[in-house]
Structure formats: structure tokens, C-alpha cells
Amino acid sequence: MKMQKKFWMRCFLAAMAMLAVSPITFGQVNVGISVSFGPPALPVYTQPLCPGDGYMWTPGYWAWDGYDYYWVPGTWVLIPEPGFFWTPPWWGWGGRGYIFHSGYWGPRVGFYGGINYGFGYFGHGYEGGRWDRGHFFYNRSVNNLNVTEIHNVYNTTVVKNYGNSHVSYNGGRGGLDARPTAEEQAAIHDRHIPPIPSQVQHMEASRENTSLRSAVNRGRPPIAATSRPGAFKEPGVVKATEAGHYNPPRTEHSVGYPGSAVHPKDLPANSRMNAPSSGNPKEDKSYQQEQEKLYTKQAQERQQLQQKQEQEHQRYSQQQAGQQQMQQLERQHQQQTQQLAQHHYQQQVQLSEHQQSHPSSQPPPKHKP
């Protein structure tokens, strides 16, 4: 019971953090962090076999962790309520950066940026299934089904006049030019259910899996889709067969974190980047030890930079520096902080990549300041 309360409290706090951003674009309020450059193109992959009746397909998407985009694999999810559909999350230009709009469950599919996620989500609405007298029927033309087990099916050919675009965001430079229909606008006012616990856990597991970061997979994730949420090691895992345009991660111009961080104290604590198990307990333990050494060293470097910047603040204050000089100092501190954060992130990726290749004959990489 205590664990369950902690989980829901974490979900609540995450939702409050997302709502802290001012609502923009198309009247929706389910928006999150803003990033100055758009996510990579959607990877190409096949849909895993539906695990059983009552599951609905939720397409994969790119999410942001503060340093880099990471892929959240598409997966089959148990429908939380009869008559409900899934509206996928999407990225859209908001004037100063790309805003993340979270997905939700509701009685009809809302606007999701006109993005062609495939498998029934071709930009507007959902053509992968329909409800009939409280039971969900699957469209065989767009879903991978075992019809010997799932009998509530129909076959409606979808006219593919939506193009072959893999662009993963709406608006801005290179984005899709799509606007919501009247029905999609009305769907905003329906009763919604946020992502259910299995979807939240699926997203969290994706964020912690280093191989799903765009800096590592270059837009071609090795786990593009799964048969169930979080099932990253089951036979139903599907790899991406093709990657589209890849945007290298950068932080110096991000509208959101860490671009807004001015001093090291503004940066959150390092989150562990869990590399897949090598199958060798000794090597896995060695990786964990190296990771702790790296994070301890990085914490010391943050503290040293923080102290240096505080000393400069004190010196400028004693010299009674003008407003223009103080603003210039703050810009310099922000640049230093961003460079440190990016350098630390690259060190973490390098260490995790070493663990994934785990050549036992080679030592872990040196961590230069």
C-alpha cells in the first residue's frame, strides 16, 4: 500500500510539473517541457503481435529527459475503460520552442499534431479499431493479430493518402502543417484518463535505458516496439529497421532545462543511466562501481564550479559592479554551467556504451575534467 501511494504521488508531482508550463497551442493544457530543436524523425518498425483481446496499440514516440531525446517504444496496452481510445502524445512548436503534449485516454481521439505514427494513427483519428456494444473490434488491415485467438475483427482497407512522412513534430522549421478538426477541438472538453500506471512505468524504463537515447542509437532504437509495456527483454521486442533524420542533442540553446540553468546548484541530481546487463555479474558490478566513481567526481566538479561562481559574485558585489556587468557575468555562468552539464552527460553515455560492448580486455574510459 505504501509503495502504491508513493507511485501515485510521483505521478501527481510529474503531472503538476507538466501543468506548470503555460497552456498554448490549440487550447490544450496537457503540455510539458519546451526544447529549442525538434525530435528525430520517427523510426520505421513493424508492429508486434497483439497479446490478446482488450489491448489497444499505443505508438512509440520521442520524449525528452533534460539532456537528450529518448525513444519510448510503441506497445500494446490494456484499455482502461470500455469505449475509450488513446490519443498519442506529440511535439508542437509553441513560439519559443517545441512543446510536449502528453497522451490521454478518452471517448474519442483528439488532435495529435497530424503526425503519421502508423498502425491506424495516420495523422487524424484512429482507423485501427472501433467499439460496438461495449466490445472493441480490431481492423485487420492495420493490426498484427492472431485471428485464431481474437475473433472480434473486421477488415477495412485504409486509403493511404497521408503520405510517407516520418516527421515527428508539428510546426516550426521542417514540422508538419496540420491543424485540429472541429471534432478534435471538441475532444479537448471530454473526460480524459491520463496514461495509466503501466504506461508511466514503460516511459520511466525507457528513460533509464541508455540504448534508447538518440545520442546512442542515432534515431534507430534497438527496442522500437514491445508486445507489452516494459517488456524490453521478451521475444516480442521489435527493432527499428530504418532511422530517419537525426538531431544531435544539444543544451546550449534549449528553452527548457538545462538551458535555463544558470548555476550548477540549479541542475538536478544525476540520474543513473542503466545499461543493459552484460550477463557477467562481475562486469556488471565493475560498471556500477565505475558509475559511482564518475558521479562522485562529477558532483565534486559541480561543487567546485558553484564555489568559483559564488566567489565571482562576491567580488563583483564588493566592486559595486553595474547592472550590465552583472548580466554579463550571469551569461558567462550560464554558459559554464551548460558546458559542464553537457560534458557530464557525454561522460555518462560513454561509460554506458562501454558497458554495452563490455570488452573484458579493455578498461573503462578515463573521465577527463
C-alpha cell at 134: 461495449
Amino acid present at 171:
G
**Alpha-carbon distance 275 to 350, whole Å?**
11
pLDDT at residue 253 above 60? no
- The burial class, CB within 10 Å (0-12 / 13-18 / 19+), for 224 is buried
pLDDT at residue 126 above 80? yes
Q: How confident is the model at residue 152 (pLDDT cuts 50, 70, 90)?
A: very high
**Alpha-carbon distance 127 to 103, whole Å?**
17
φ/ψ (deg, to 5) at 101: -105, 120
- The burial class, CB within 10 Å (0-12 / 13-18 / 19+), for 165 is middle
Give the mean pLDDT of 314-318: 84
Please choose, from the candidates 282, 264, 293, 300, the residue with its C-alpha nearest in 3D space to the C-alpha of residue 366: 293
What percent of the chain shows pLDDT beyond 70? 77
**Alpha-carbon distance 185 to 165, whole Å?**
24
Q: Give the dihedral sign, CA 100/223/109/169.
A: positive
Distance of CA 172 to the CA centre of its chain: 19
φ/ψ (deg, to 5) at 104: -160, 165
pLDDT in the model for residue 291: 82
Q: Mean of the per-residue pLDDT values for the chain? A: 81
pLDDT at residue 48 above 70? yes
Give the mean pLDDT of 22-45: 65
Q: Going by C-beta distance under 8 Å and a sequence separation of 6 or more, which residues neighbour residue 288?
A: none
**Alpha-carbon distance 89 to 86, whole Å?**
9
- The burial class, CB within 10 Å (0-12 / 13-18 / 19+), for 356 is middle
Per-residue b or e along 68-84, where b marks 16 or more CB atoms closer than 10 Å to that residue's CB: bbbbbbbbbbebbeeeb
φ/ψ (deg, to 5) at 282: -65, -45
pLDDT at residue 41 above 90? yes
Q: How confident is the model at residue 132 (pLDDT cuts 50, 70, 90)?
A: very high
Give the mean pLDDT of 231-244: 87
Would you tell me how many other CB atoms lie within 10 Å of the CB of residue 4?
9
pLDDT at residue 26 above 50? no
pLDDT in the model for residue 6: 46
- Using left for φ > 0, alpha for ψ between -120 and 50, and beta otherwise, residue 83 falls in left
C-alpha cell at 265: 546548484
CA distances (Å), origin 35, targets 22, 157, 169, 282, 356: 14, 38, 12, 39, 29
Q: What is the 3-state secondary structure (H, E, C) of 95-117?
A: CCCEEEECCEEECCCCCCCCCCC
**Alpha-carbon distance 47 to 198, whole Å?**
19
3-class secondary structure, 56: strand
Instruction: Say how many CA atoms lie within 13 Å of 241 toward its Cβ.
Output: 5
Would you tell me how many other CB atoms lie within 10 Å of the CB of residue 67?
23
Name the more confident of 250 and 139. Answer: 139
pLDDT at residue 142 above 60? yes
Q: How confident is the model at residue 79 (pLDDT cuts 50, 70, 90)?
A: very high
pLDDT in the model for residue 273: 53
Amino acid present at 364:
P
pLDDT in the model for residue 312: 87
φ/ψ (deg, to 5) at 28: -80, 150
pLDDT in the model for residue 131: 97
